[in-house]
Structure 1
Amino acid sequence: MDKIALITDSTSDLPEDLIDKYSINVMHYRIIYKNREYIDKINITPDYVYENLHNEIPTSSMPAVDEMENVFDSLEKQGYTHAIVITLSSGLTGFYNGIKLISENHPKIKTCIFDSKLISMGEGILVLECAKLIEKGMNFEYVVNKLPYIKSKIRLFFIVNTLEYLKKGGRIGKVAGTIGQLLNIKPIVAIDNSDGKYYTYDKVRGRKKSIARMVEIANKILDSNKYSIFVVNGAAFDDSKKVFEKIKEHKNIVSAKLCGSISPVAGVHSGPGLVGVVMYEEE
Structure 2
Amino acid sequence: MDYVIATDSTCDLPKTLLREMQVQSLDMMYFVNDIGYGKDDANQLEFHEFYDAMRNGARTSTSMINEQTAREFLTDLLAQGKDVLYLSFASVLSGTYENFKRVAEELNAANTNKVYVVDSKCASGGEGLFVTLVAEKCKSGLTFDEACKYADEIRDRVIHYFVVDDLKYLARGGRLSKGSAFFGNLLNIKPVLHVDELGRLVPIKKVVGRKKSLVALIDKISERYNKESETIYITHGDCFDDAKFVADAITEKFGLLVKIMPLGFVIGSHSGPGTVALFFTGDSRTEK
Asked if these proteins are the same fold (TM beyond 0.5), I'd say yes
Match of 2:219 among 201, 209, 216: 216
Q: Which residue of 162, 185, 189 maps to 1:181? A: 185
After TM superposition, give the deviation of residue 264 of structure 1 in Å: 1.5
Structure 2 match to 1:258: 259
Alignment pair present for 1:144 and 2:148 = yes
**Residue 240 in structure 1 maps to residue 239 in structure 2:** no
CA distance in 2, matches of 1:215, 1:251: 10
Does 2:14 align with 1:10? no
1:178 and 1:85 mapped to 2: Cα distance?
40
Letter in 2 for 1:165: Y
Post-superposition offset of 1:258: 3.2
Give the RMSD, CA atoms, in angstroms. 2.4
Which runs of 5 or more residues in structure 1 are unaligned? none
* Contact 2:238/2:262, CA 8 A, preserved across alignment: yes
1:72 and 2:48 aligned: no
Give the TM-score, by structure 1 length.
Answer: 0.87
- Aligned-residue offset at 1:50: 1.2
What are the superposed Cα offsets for residues 230-262 of structure 1, whole Å, 9 maximum, x if unpaired? 222111101111111111123463xx2332211
Cα deviation per residue 1:176-204 (whole Å; 9 max; x = unaligned)? 645433322111110111x3111112211
Cα offset, 1:153, TM superposition: 2.8
More helix per residue: 2
Q: Give the Cα–Cα distance (whole angstroms) in 2 for the partners of residues 70 and 278 of structure 1.
A: 31
Structure 1: which 4+ aligned runs deviate by more than 6 Å?
none
Partner SS, residue 244 of structure 2: helix
Identity of matched residues, %: 28
TM alignment of 1:36-185, pairs within 5 A: 36-39=35-38, 42=41, 43-44=43-44, 45-53=46-54, 54-80=56-82, 82-107=83-108, 108=111, 109-172=113-176, 177-185=181-189
What amino acid sits opposite 1:36 in the alignment?
Answer: I
Q: Distance in 1 between matches of 2:282 and 2:194?
A: 17
Check the 8 A contact 1:49/1:267 in 2, yes or no: no
Contact 2:233 2:261 survives alignment (8 Å): no
**CA distance in 2 between partners of 1:130 and 1:270 (Å):** 27
In structure 2, distance between residues paired with 1:128 and 1:217: 21
Letter in 2 for 1:146: Y
**Long gaps (5+) in structure 2:** 284-288
Equivalent residue letter for 1:125: L
Shift of 1:16: 2.0
Equivalenced residue count is: 274
* Cα distance change of structure 1 residues 114 and 245 upon mapping to structure 2, 3 Å threshold: same
Given that 1:10 and 1:40 are in contact with CA atoms closer than 8 Å, whether structure 2 keeps it comes out as no
1:4 Cα deviation from its structure 2 partner: 1.3
Q: Give 1:225 shift.
A: 4.5
Determine whether 1:267 maps to 2:274: no
Q: Distance in 2 between matches of 1:220 and 1:41?
A: 40
How many Å apart are 1:215 and its aligned residue? 1.5
